[in-house]
Amino acid sequence: MSNQLHRLKGRGWQLTSGVLAAALLGVLVFFGVIGRTTDVPSSDGRIRLVLTATERNYVLTEMRGLLAASQTVLSGALDGDLDRVARAARAVGMADVRAMPIEIRGPLIGKLPIGFKQLGFSVHEGMDTIALDAETLGDREHTLRQLSELMARCVACHAAYTVLPSETREDLTADVR
């Protein structure tokens, strides 16, 4: 093999390992193995996620969207209006997660514990399933059962995590928290 070919091969490996290292870093940050702030217990025993005000507002706005969508799914199913069910559920499906502004997604995803992300994603995926089933099956009993099962996950997550600032003076007054 010529020297030049050797050098080229060497560079190829450097590039490949560089890409692999970057991908691994991305995976570790994504799953919260690194880059995550410590989970601090709150005074009510739940795990406190230490977020900035912007991040907290984003999460809570998402939450109010989930509540509104759940109510629309419920009323749509009761009225037998499965188009309304599908529209409302899809609006808070995984597309909603992918639409998260990049400047929030980067730091926020790195801070959230893996259990939180799994539960959160499963709720958004569950909304996509509700939408799809409403369109394809058109069975409102099925929709209601799906919503009920999905909402057990809202309950489970709320029992485990909080984003409320701690009661220390700095936390209550700092507008970045």
Question: Which positions touch ligand HEC (CB under 6 A)?
Answer: 60, 63-64, 66-67, 70, 116, 119-120, 123, 150-151, 153-154, 157-158, 161-164
The least CB distance from residue 46 to ligand HEC, in Å, is 7
Identify the residue whose tokens are 């009761």. Answer: 78
The least CB distance from residue 71 to ligand HEC, in Å, is 9
The least CB distance from residue 127 to ligand HEC, in Å, is 8
Give the strand pairing for 40-41 and 47-48.
antiparallel
Largest CA distance in the chain: 75
Token pair of 58, please? 């984003």
Residue (2 or 38) nearer to ligand HEC, CB? 38
Which runs of E-coded beta strand occur in 22-125? 40-41, 47-48
Residue (82 or 157) nearer to ligand HEC, CB? 157
CB atoms within 10 A of CB 9: 11
Residue (13 or 121) nearer to ligand HEC, CB? 121
Residue (25 or 53) nearer to ligand HEC, CB? 53
The least CB distance from residue 100 to ligand HEC, in Å, is 14
Distances (CA, A) of 169 to 163, 173, 174, 175, 177: 16, 6, 8, 12, 12
The least CB distance from residue 23 to ligand HEC, in Å, is 25
The C-alpha atoms of residue 109 and residue 37 are separated, in whole angstroms, by 11
- DSSP 8-state secondary structure symbol assigned to residue 175: T
Residue (137 or 156) nearer to ligand HEC, CB? 156
Q: What angle do CA 48, 51, 55 make, to 5 degrees?
A: 130
